[in-house]
Structure 1
Amino acid sequence: MDHGIRELAATGRGVLVTGASRGIGRAIAAAFAEQGDRVAVHCTVRHADAERTLADLPGDGHVLVTGDLGDPAEVEALAARAEEALGAVDVLVNNAAVMVAHPLPTTSYDAWQDAWRHTAAVNLFGPAHLSYCVARHMIDGRREGRIVNIGSRGAFRGEPDHPAYGATKAALHALGQSLAVSLAPHGIAVASVAPGFVATERVAGRLDGEEGERIRAQSPFGRVGTPREVAAAVLHLASPAARWSSGAVLDVNGASYLRT
């Protein structure tokens, strides 16, 4: 590695977390802030929730940034705003995602196309473009960095009612591995987390009744994951000690799905 590259610090870093209004993104933002990092809380539409996330973060130097990840121009502006507001973005967490139901047997062709376009724009092209913009700032600043993608167990297990979600998460894993090779000479490590079912506001209703029992039974632990458990995995992969994990896809699913 070029010794002119500034090494990544353990704390006090600038961290951009997309989709940090609530759920997993909020937990990730809080985990970084709790260890002394400065966090850029990103949202697209849930501004009130994002303001709450920001207000609850411990420490100083945190900011709220907005931008439509499906718009390449807004992505570029978002990366620039976060870089300026934090002084530098040392860690990017690509967490934001959409999950639009479109089971093939019951979905019209027009709705099918719309679901794929929207899902790919936010779940794949958005992280790809944002990773490009943030990594270019890291390279130009001659500093190490970390990119952590939030993928999904569904990339391996399949998502019959949300096929575009499963496909884009699989592509996000592959993107992370390609970037891990490309960016290693610049001191930038890239890895992904593949969570299983996680108890968040978006899916709280599904954990009631018989469906909830079936979901919890997927894991031999008899429960679902928590946002804090996903955040802990992200925190590790973003740490200076995890450089050698670059290219990894870390399963965080409570042994609910084992792949070879």
Structure 2
Amino acid sequence: MTGGSRGIGRAVAKVFAAAGDRVAIHHRDSPLEAQQALAALDGDGHVLVKGDVANPEAVASFVTAAADGLGGIDVLVNGAAVLRMHDPLTTSYLEWRQAWREAVEVDLLGTANVSWCVARHMVRRGQGGRIVTIGARSARGGVPEAPAYAAATAGLIAMGQSLAVALAPYRIAVSSVAPEPTGQHDTAGQVAPTPAEIASAVRYLASAQPVFVSGTVLDVAGKAPIR
């Protein structure tokens, strides 16, 4: 679980551990929160791994550490992301450019690198697997205060659909969860989903049953988007 030390990531780790799975919690620079998240998990055999998803060498290292610590990786949940607010009319050009650079390097390229490393590991093991990416295709229509984040996570959804086809022969299912921002009310007064509710959706897609939903995007928005 990348980005597993807080928020949705921590909720996802708890759901998997409660179901009897062993979990690798990844963090970049929040060791205290990560240790607390690890201590809160049911069961034993869980591991903690550290690394910057924007650093390709770090990605390869912590994926290997997770695989070694768990004795293999059956499920990857991509949750690590950076969200920097950058309203197009109020931020400076330098702030705007930095927000886009971070979104591409962390949210998009970093997650793609983690997925690449784990997919190759799964193929070598020959036992199939699941890759679930938590994106942010807002049901309200983008993320207007953070367009770079919206663009990067939309790219992740497209990546997941492409990987679903590429990895299908190896029995690796790939899907995405698209939540609303958690714990907030939208302009219509509707309540956004909790981290636990999003974690339940992730757990469903990562289970063995929904094999024919590979490539899907599951909206968790408290209201169904009309397409």
TM-score if structure 1 supplies the norm length? 0.84
8 Å CA contact retained: 2:59, 2:114: yes
Alignment match, 1:258: 225
8 Å CA contact retained: 1:100, 1:115: yes
Paired with 2:21 and 2:81, the residues of 1 have a C-alpha distance of: 24
Q: Which moved more, 1:118-127 or 1:24-33?
A: 118-127
Paired with 2:124 and 2:226, the residues of 1 have a C-alpha distance of: 38
Consecutive unaligned residues of structure 2, counting only runs of 5 or more, are none
Q: 1:248 aligns with which of 210, 213, 216?
A: 216
Q: 1:217 to 1:158 in 2, by over 3 A?
A: closer
Following TM superposition, by how much is the alpha carbon of 1:225 offset from its aligned partner in structure 2, in angstroms?
A: 1.1
Alignment match, 1:224: 192
Q: 1:129 aligns with which of 113, 130, 143?
A: 113
Cα deviation, 1:156-200, whole Å, max 9, x if unaligned, reads: 71112101011011101000000000000001000000001212x
Q: Larger C-alpha radius of gyration, 1 or 2?
A: 1
Alignment match, 1:119: 103
Q: 1:87 to 1:47 in 2, by over 3 A?
A: same
Following TM superposition, by how much is the alpha carbon of 1:146 offset from its aligned partner in structure 2, in angstroms?
A: 0.2
Q: 1:53 to 1:172 in 2, by over 3 A?
A: same
Alignment match, 2:158: 174
Consecutive unaligned residues of structure 1, counting only runs of 5 or more, are 1-16, 200-206, 208-214
Paired with 1:61 and 1:79, the residues of 2 have a C-alpha distance of: 16
Alignment of 1:1-260 (within 5 A): 17-154=1-138, 157-199=141-183, 215-216=185-186, 218=188, 222-255=190-223, 258-260=225-227
What code does the residue aligned with 2:31 have? H
8 Å CA contact retained: 1:124, 1:172: yes
Matched pairs, number: 227
Paired with 1:137 and 1:109, the residues of 2 have a C-alpha distance of: 41
8 Å CA contact retained: 1:154, 1:169: no
Paired with 1:231 and 1:52, the residues of 2 have a C-alpha distance of: 18
8 Å CA contact retained: 1:155, 1:169: no
Following TM superposition, by how much is the alpha carbon of 1:155 offset from its aligned partner in structure 2, in angstroms?
A: 8.0
Paired with 2:107 and 2:140, the residues of 1 have a C-alpha distance of: 16
Alignment match, 1:7: none
Percentage of pairs with the same residue = 50
Moved runs in structure 1, 4+ residues, more than 4 A? none
Aligned-CA RMSD value: 1.4
TM-score if structure 2 supplies the norm length? 0.96
